[in-house]
Amino acid sequence: MNKKFARKIIGDPSLQTLEQLFAGVDGVFWVDWREADEDIIRSAAQIIGDGELSAAWVGDKLHVKFRGKLTEVPLKLEPGEQYITLATLQEAIGPTYEIRHITASSGGDTTAFMIFKEGTLTELEAEFHGKVIDALQTVERGSAFFIQAVQEQTTMRLAREAKGKERAAEQARIAAGGPQFPTLVHTKDGLKSVEEIRVGDWVLSHPENQPPPIRRQAPWRLEHEYTYRQVRNVLIRDKPVTYFNILFAATGPESLKVAPDQLVWVAGQWLGSHRTATR
């Protein structure tokens, strides 16, 4: 395997060394958190040799075939479990070969691994001592190389689903004759249009005798700042509404819909919306 590059990644993990890694290095294979598990085995086989190592399916179970011996990969069919295939691969080919994760390749959806012949890592450890394990991590059952990527993708998926539900609710509201641009209110159950607020809901608000506070994170949050308070009464007024077109520097123009006598905080004072329409 590529002992020369291994010495570089252990002894000189510089930007130039990383650029060489990303450009492609013999003896290194890359694994993406969405990688097909059999392709991981095939990538390793290209380094070790197809005659020794291959992926094999027995029924619906994936196996590592090394020198004629089959080792089942106990997949759970969950996102990010490529580490199970890598660990099984290591168990199947060891101690003849050893897979190590290149620590410097971490941080993205794809990460790099090297394969060493038996005895090579012993030589490197004698040369670099404790630096080897820092640069080249062992591959074991408990390794979680892809957990961060899976968590990030899960967060993005949940955000997309939440956005899709909001769009569906908006379309249903319009179809039912509701407002096209509802005023949204933060509640403990998420965003709701002001028309959906009912007695007993918890809404994010602040005292009426205070100006809108600046949102700050704990531990700097003050007692009078935004907090959830329970709705005790709901007033419904059958009056025309006032629309404001507000130009935000960061996001561009947005519409704000308020009742004719709604108070609006303008230039340090509360004014009725009918007095702010031309401001």
Q: How far apart are CA 236 and CA 109, in angstroms?
A: 51
Kindly state the tokens that stand for 244.
């404001």
Residue 170 lies in a domain: no
Are 258 and 229 in the same domain? no
Together in a domain, 276 and 221: no
Q: Looking at residues 229-243, what average pLDDT do you find?
A: 73
Arithmetic mean of pLDDT over the chain: 78
Q: What pLDDT shows up at residue 256?
A: 65
Q: Judge whether 159 lies within some domain.
A: no
- 63 and 118 in a common domain: yes
- pTM over 0.75? The answer is no
- Higher per-residue confidence, 255 vs 10: 10
Mean pLDDT across 218-242: 65
Whether residues 221 and 274 fall in one domain: no
Higher-confidence residue: 22 or 76? Answer: 22
Query: Which is higher by pLDDT, 148 or 203?
Result: 203
For the chain, how many structural domains are there in total?
3
Tell me: do 229 and 241 sit in the same domain.
Answer: no
With cut-offs at 50, 70 and 90, classify the pLDDT of residue 223.
very low
Same domain? For 64 and 131 the reply is yes
Q: Is residue 161 part of a domain?
A: no
**Is residue 89 located within the same domain as residue 59?**
yes
Same domain membership, residue 106 and residue 8:
yes
> Could you tell me if residue 165 is inside a domain?
no
Distance CA 66, CA 133 (A): 26
Q: Do 16 and 136 lie in a common domain?
A: yes
Q: Mean pLDDT lowest for which of 84-93, 128-137, 172-181? A: 172-181
Rounded average pLDDT over 235-256: 63
**Preceding omega of 95 cis (within 30 degrees of 0):** yes
Q: What is the pLDDT of residues 90-147, one digit of tens each?
A: 999 999 999 999 988 887 778 899 999 999 999 999 999 889 999 998 888 766 665 5
Last residue of a domain, one of 118, 145, 172: 145
151 in a structural domain = no
User: What's the pLDDT band for 279 if we cut at 50, 70, 90?
Assistant: very low
* 97 and 10 assigned to the same domain: yes
* 208 and 222, same domain (yes or no): yes
In a domain, 168, yes or no: no
Range of the domain at 207: 180-234
Same domain, 52 and 28: yes
Residue 174 lies in a domain: no
